[in-house]
Structure 1
Amino acid sequence: MNRLITLLMLLIASMSAAAAPPPPADIDARAGFDQHVGAALPMSARIVDQDGEARTLAGIAHGKPLVLAFGYYRCPNLCDLTLHGIGRAVSTMTLDAASDFHVVFLSVDPDETAAAAREARTMLAGMRPGARAATWTFGTADAATIASLTRVAGFRYFLDERTKEYVHPAGLIVVTPEGRIAQYFFGVGYDAGALRLALVDASNGRLGGVIDRLVLLCCGYDPTTGRYSVLVSRLMMVLGSLFVLGMLVAIGRLRRRTA
């Protein structure tokens, strides 16, 4: 009986796949992420959060870096994976999602409601309690606001009229407290260590410690991969500085002994 049920499920899945229309031929030109590092997001843009409250991005950031992601709540594919990917990374970081930075997920569908945003927050909070999704902002906005934010962010998407679904890329953006785009992370899985460094870097010295500063001195952000990588020149500069400092300390101690 179990085998029969399995065969029936496979048959239904194959029929659904066969019935699904092929993707548009120009999908790469119409959907994707263009990196606009350094661009200024309109932080005065008003969005409506999951509780129906109108808020600005500046008010949400409240002087802290933002983790910003675009998608939509009825998305059948990437958006759940994106949210879980952010939740997984946030739950394993030492930074706090309520006091050190803020997470914003904004729907690109102007017809979606605060109720849909609230349902997404409840779902993620229940499945990933460590991510503290109850402190995130799940937002909706009108078409003009969505267009202005996604245009600056380089987030290209479109509504496929055949399926009535939005075709869009997956990823997140780290934004400075002032609204400057600092870094991009692509896909649906995000390295917690790299995301932490990005937030420390975007905080203008307000987050992190001495070790974070040393790591950032030795590493550079690679926009092609959305990750940090060791820069040999910076590493040699830091090691050289530490060597000179060590020599000065040794000379100072030697002079005190011989005095």
Structure 2
Amino acid sequence: MTRLHGSRRSASGTSGIARGSVRRWTLLLVFACVIGLMHHPVRAQALAVRPPEQTRYVQRLDAKLPLSSTFIDDNGKPAHLGAYFGDRPVVLVLGYFHCPNLCSTLMDGVLQSLAAVGLPPHAYRVLGVSIDPSETPRLAASKKASYAPLLGNTGAELTLLTGTKPDIDALARSVGFEYVYDRQLQQYMHPAGFIVATQDGRISHYFMGVRFDPRDLRLALIDASSGHIGSPVDQLLLLCSHYDPVTGRYSAQIIAGVRAACLMVLAALLVLLWRATKRSAT
């Protein structure tokens, strides 16, 4: 009888330990699910600059860039635009080098975001093209030197190009970059943003504003490379995300699935806990 009583006590103690373990794991999983349900991915592309009238980006996704157009790089060497394509996606930024405010802010935003994408610098190329035909390769070289601190953070290959008005206009038309020259202010009025082009020179993504989400930019580069760069996790994110060309951002549809899964797991755990409590009571 003593052994039986001790056995019952032992079984009761084991059952109590099991119930306590279930409760602890349930609380931990509930806490994890609550965190998952409350989590919202950070969006860094909150700052958008409203373009002046008569200036805008007309999105022409999948349009071909004029790769035969000739420009001069920041070393003074002429080259066809196509010389900068062929092996990797290209980040293309249009503006001008003596711009008093917007263009430098835009390029800073691009380089800062690229520094945070977590891709090797040889996975993409950055091209800045002046829309002012009066600008020279010497000015381009000086401007490039001013970006040295940011380039040190990214290791990215940046080339600044100048060209003639016909070649500049051909490139601007191909990407839907509409701009005007204000003679009174002696400034170019133009939209803020940049494009990501595929390695064969097709427009893949538009980004608007002057500050950009590194996650969206990373996915755009991976997408433009046809999946040749990045990791298997990036490929999963591309499958589970939807690119919105209006905002230039990826909506994480996977978050809705994760939240639904969390709710299902939470409901199942509550049922198990209720059953375990009911059995112990009887």
- Return the TM-score normalized by structure 2: 0.70
CA distance in 2, matches of 1:100, 1:57: 18
Q: Please list, as runs of the form range in 1=range in 2, the aligned pairs for 1:124-143 lying within 5 A after superposition.
A: 124-126=147-149, 128-132=151-155, 135-143=157-165
- In the alignment, structure 1 residue 38 sits paired with structure 2 residue 62: yes
Is 1:208 the equivalent of 2:230? yes
Is residue 202 of structure 2 the alignment partner of residue 180 of structure 1? yes
Alpha-carbon deviation of 1:91?
A: 1.3
2:92 is aligned with 1:68: yes
| Match of residue 81, structure 1, among 105, 118, 139 | 105
In the alignment, is the contact (CA less than 8 A) between 1:174 and 1:183 conserved in 2?
yes
SS state of the match for residue 193, structure 1?
helix
Contact 1:218/1:235, CA 8 A, preserved across alignment: no
Q: CA deviation at 1:46?
A: 1.5
Alignment correspondent of 1:190: 212
SS of the aligned residue for 2:223 comes to: helix
Displacement of 1:45 in angstroms is 1.7
Q: Deviations over 1:173-204 (max 9, x none)?
A: 00001111000001111111110100000001
List aligned pairs for 1:162-173, cutoff 5 A: 162-173=184-195
Q: Could you tell me whether the CA contact under 8 Å between 2:97 and 2:143 is conserved in 1?
A: yes
* 2:169 aligned residue: 147
2:251: which partner in 1?
A: 229
Which secondary structure does the structure 2 equivalent of 1:43 belong to? coil
Matched, 1:114 2:118: no
Give the ranges of 4+ consecutive aligned residues of structure 1 lying more than 6 Å apart after TM superposition: none
Which structure 2 segments of 5+ residues have no match? 1-50, 262-282
CA contact (8 A) 2:111 2:150 kept: no
Deviation at 1:235, TM superposition (A): 6.1
Q: Residues 125 and 132 of structure 1 are in contact (CA less than 8 Å); yes or no, is this contact kept in structure 2?
A: no
- Distance (whole Å) between structure 2 residues aligned to residue 38 and residue 63 of structure 1: 18
- Report the secondary structure of 1:30's partner residue: coil
Evaluate the alpha carbon distance shift between residue 138 and residue 172 of structure 1 in structure 2; reply closer, same or farther with a 3 A threshold: same
- Once the two structures are TM-superposed, the CA of residue 29 in structure 1 deviates from its matched residue by 4.5
Residues 48-57 or 113-122, more deviating: 48-57
Within 1, Cα distance between the matches of 2:175 and 2:212? 18
Structure showing greater relative contact order (alpha-carbon pairs closer than 8 Å, 6 or more residues apart): 2
> Any idea what SS the aligned residue of 2:123 has?
coil
Amino acid at match of 2:82: A
5+ residue gaps, structure 1: 1-26, 240-259
Give 1:180's aligned amino acid.
Answer: R
- The residue type equivalent to 1:66 in the other structure is V
Q: Aligned partners of 1:83, 1:28: CA distance in 2, in Å?
A: 19
Partner of 1:92: 116
* CA spacing shift, 1:200–1:116, aligned 2, 3 Å: same
Name the SS of the counterpart of 2:246 in structure 1: coil
Contact 1:66–1:174 (CA under 8 A) maintained in structure 2? yes
Deviation at 1:28, TM superposition (A): 4.6
Provide the aligned C-alpha RMSD in A. Answer: 2.0
The letter for the 1-side match of 2:91 is: V
Higher radius of gyration, 1 or 2: 2
**Equivalent-residue separation in structure 2 for 1:218 and 1:101 (angstroms):** 23
Q: Output one character per residue of 1:13-53: Cα deviation in whole Å (capped at 9) or x when no partner.
A: xxxxxxxxxxxxxx854211111111111122221110011
The total of aligned residue pairs comes to 209
The 8 Å contact of residues 106 and 209 in structure 2, kept in 1 or not, is answered as yes
5 Å matches for 1:16-27? none
1:96 Cα deviation from its structure 2 partner: 2.5
Q: 1:100 to 1:127 in 2, by over 3 A?
A: closer
